[in-house]
Amino acid sequence: MSGSIFRRKSRRIRLGEVEVGGGAPILVQSMTKTDTRDVEATLGQLKRLELAGCEVVRVAVPDEDALEGFAACLRESKVPVVADIHFSHSLAVRCIELGAHCVRINPGNIGGKQRLLEVVRAASDAGCAIRIGVNSGSLEKRLWAKYGGPKAEALAESALYWSAFLEDAGFFNFKVSIKSSDVVENYRSHLIFAQKSEAPLHVGITEAGFGEYGVVKSSVGIGSLLLNGIGDTIRVSLTGDPVREVEVGFAILKCLGLREAGPEIISCPTCGRRKIDVEALAQRVYEATKSLKRGIKIAVMGCEVNGPGEAREAHCGIAGGRTHSLIFKRGVVIKKVPNHEAVEALLEVIKDLEVDDAHQKASFPDKV
Ligand code: SF4
């Protein structure tokens, strides 16, 4: 599903069995935050990320001692694993030899072009992808001087330079990650890059922070790019449990209609007309429907007078009253039930919607 967003044309690459770019679904990525030398803890976090739906996992490989943990991740993971390498090209090559699906390197800090080419050759031989990282920390001095700092133009020029370098070497199985913690510079640098390259882009806001502000900052930064059709994989970088990064990542894609990730609850903000505890009701509806896979919009509204009309675009919903609630389907009221039966009645309507869909599919096979 792609909603009405026109996605930028990007080249399709492979991370193991998984396709990235070229119209493939936008994938949600995260990163283990344990010490990779602690194999048990790292595998434990990897499994939690998988259970949360994480589709690509990056694992830091800071030194030789971390190779054992990285190899264990490769053995155990059901999703592609990206080796996160800084400074050491030999470590990147070792990870590729171990079977890494992708290695993340910043060309600006890998020790020169010859060493970069060694990594590229090893990746090419092994069918491993590369993620080129560009950020303020690895930005070349000449670009820093030319633009007066890690400005959007500098980051984009660096990313374009290294993309061309890999392509000139005959290597195309790479994606690019331009990261800034400044939302506006991040946005501008992606726009510049995307106009000049078809390399797939991994997008996110680096060091977004923690808590609610980190979620908002990432959502604005990633969401604005996705709305422009830019982004083939995403990562929400939050201080804290990486499972939260995955949850927020899917929520961003769901808001934009870019991935179906189960039901979406649309609940009204409430006002002076409210007849029911909307927050508690929305929570009950969420709990009752969260295991559904289908991407339906469910409205939870605080009054019967305005609720069904305001939520006309939802597939179905509840409009609460003092003692009874209205159950509606596509804006049309179909039932009035006592409040304590409202969630149950809504679930019946959701089942009906599935029957409707199956019927429509059988009647108009080309239209669904
Ligand atoms: Fe107010 Fe009713 Fe609208 Fe909710 S649905 S915001 S309670 S008018």
Contact of 289 with 350, CB cutoff 8 Å:
yes
Cα 357 to averaged position of ligand 1 atoms, centre (Å): 29
Cα 275 to averaged position of ligand 1 atoms, centre (Å): 9
Higher pLDDT pick, 169 / 332: 169
Instruction: Output b/e per residue, 48-83; b: 16+ Cβ within 10 A.
Output: bbbebbbbbbbbbbeeeebbebbbbbbeebebbbbb
How much is the pLDDT for 295?
83
Q: Is the pTM of this model over 0.85?
A: yes
Query: Which atom in ligand 1 lies closest to the alpha carbon of residue 272?
Result: 1
Answer whether residue 365 shows pLDDT above 50.
no
How much is the pLDDT for 260?
77
How much is the pLDDT for 364?
47
285-330: pLDDT as tens digits: 999 998 888 888 999 999 988 877 888 889 999 999 999 999 999 8
CATH number given to 13-255: 3.20.20.20
Mean pLDDT across the chain? 92
Ligand 1 in contact with 314 (CB < 6 A)? no
CA–CA distances in Å: residue 127 to residues 8, 94, 124, 147, 174: 25, 14, 5, 36, 11
Residue nearest to atom 6 of ligand 1 (CA): 270
Query: Which atom in ligand 1 lies closest to the alpha carbon of residue 319?
Result: 5
CA–CA distances in Å: residue 247 to residues 110, 227, 235, 295, 298: 33, 19, 11, 16, 19
How much is the pLDDT for 253?
95
Name the H helices within the chain.
39-51, 67-76, 89-98, 113-126, 141-147, 152-168, 183-196, 211-227, 242-255, 278-289, 307-310, 342-363
Higher pLDDT pick, 224 / 210: 224
How much is the pLDDT for 304?
87
What residue ranges do the domains of the chain occupy? 13-255, 264-363
Answer whether residue 96 shows pLDDT above 90.
yes
Query: Which atom in ligand 1 lies closest to the alpha carbon of residue 307?
Result: 5
How much is the pLDDT for 136?
82
How much is the pLDDT for 359?
58
Name residues whose C-beta falls within 8 Å of residue 305's C-beta, 6 or more positions apart in sequence. 273
Residues facing residue 264 across a β-bridge: 297
Answer whether residue 2 shows pLDDT above 50.
no
Q: Hey, what are 225's tokens?
A: 């790019």
38-48: pLDDT as tens digits: 999 999 999 99
Ligand 1 in contact with 306 (CB < 6 A)? yes
Contact of 225 with 257, CB cutoff 8 Å:
no
Cα 317 to averaged position of ligand 1 atoms, centre (Å): 13
Q: Which helix (H) or strand (E) element contains residue 127? A: none
264-363, what's its fold? Sulfite Reductase Hemoprotein; domain 1 (3.30.413)
Ligand 1 in contact with 321 (CB < 6 A)? no
Q: Give the residue-averaged pLDDT of 259-288.
A: 91
The pick from 267, 271, 279, 300 for probing ligand 1's pocket by mutation, whose C-beta has the most ligand atoms within 8 angstroms, reads 271
Residue nearest to atom 8 of ligand 1 (CA): 306
